[in-house]
Amino acid sequence: MPTYEYECKDCGHGFEQFQSMTEKPMEKCPQCGGILRRLIGKGTGIIFKGSGFYATDYRSSDYRKKAKEETDKAEKKEDKKPISESKKKNKEGKI
């Protein structure tokens, strides 16, 4: 359920209220009985925790196998690349 923010027009009291999206907005201030207005909230951030959600949790085993094969091929290609001249010089201690 979303959290809605309210503020009383009469006394200035502000508060948050958990309400269903289909529920009508509150109209009376719980402190003074004055008229409320619903504020536009800032929203909340979404935090994803875990092993990767879509990529690891919902993909088929065939997809994961093919992705692993592609990753392995890319790693093998990088291992076969010759060391560039600048890297050779740095390894020898020259700049």
Q: Coil, helix or strand for 8?
A: strand
Q: How many domains does the chain have?
A: 2
In the predicted model, is pLDDT for residue 36 greater than 90?
yes
| Mean pLDDT score of the chain | 78
33 and 59 housed in the same domain: no
Q: Specify if 33 maps to a domain.
A: yes
Range of the domain at 73: 55-92
Examine residue 65 and state whether it is found in any structural domain, yes or no.
Answer: yes
CA 18 distance to own-chain centroid: 22
pTM comes to: 0.44
Residue 47 lies in a domain: no
- Give the closest residue to 37 by CA, choosing from 8, 2, 70, 59: 8
Predicted confidence (pLDDT) per residue in 50-85, tens digit: 666 665 556 677 887 888 898 888 887 776 666 655
Question: Is 31 a member of any domain?
Answer: yes
Q: What is the distance between the terminal CA atoms of the chain, rounded to a whole angstrom?
A: 62
In-domain check, residue 48: no
